[in-house]
């Protein structure tokens, strides 16, 4: 997977889930907010420690994680 300098993986923070570096906000949480309809402006207003670059890094991390995932459809 591509290196993401704004994303940290530390087994002592949120059990090793990928988080925005320097926070306890997981990539999953940020992506979930967006999936629930939050705009970037909503996220930045409610989580002022985040930046546009942090949100973009979450999206890039998720993209790269999915890019490397192998899916094998089962026969119905």
Q: What is the pLDDT of residue 58?
A: 98
- So what's the pLDDT on residue 69? 79
Question: Distance (Å, rounded) from C-alpha 22 to C-alpha 65?
Answer: 21
Please tell me the predicted confidence (pLDDT) of residue 2. Answer: 66
Per-residue pLDDT of 25-36, as tens digits, reads: 999 999 999 999
Q: List the chain domain ranges.
A: 7-67
DSSP 51: -
pLDDT of residue 72: 79
Identify the pLDDT of residue 49. Answer: 95
* Below-50 pLDDT ranges, the chain: none
pLDDT score at 76: 67
For the record, the structure tokens of 9 come out as 């993986």
Tokens of 40: 């970037």
* Fold of the 7-67 domain: Arc Repressor Mutant, subunit A (1.10.10)
Q: CA 73 to CA 64: how far, in whole Å?
A: 20
Q: Which residues contact 27 (CB under 8 A, 6 or more apart)?
A: 7, 17, 18, 19, 20, 58, 61, 62
């Amino acid at each position: 997977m591509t290196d993401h300098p704004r994303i940290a993986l530390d087994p002592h923070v949120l059990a090793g889930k990928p988080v925005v570096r320097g926070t306890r906000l997981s990539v999953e949480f940020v992506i979930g907010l967006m999936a629930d309809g939050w705009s970037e402006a909503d996220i930045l207003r409610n989580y002022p420690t985040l930046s546009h670059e942090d949100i973009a890094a979450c999206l890039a991390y998720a993209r790269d994680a999915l890019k490397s995932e192998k899916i094998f459809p089962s026969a119905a």
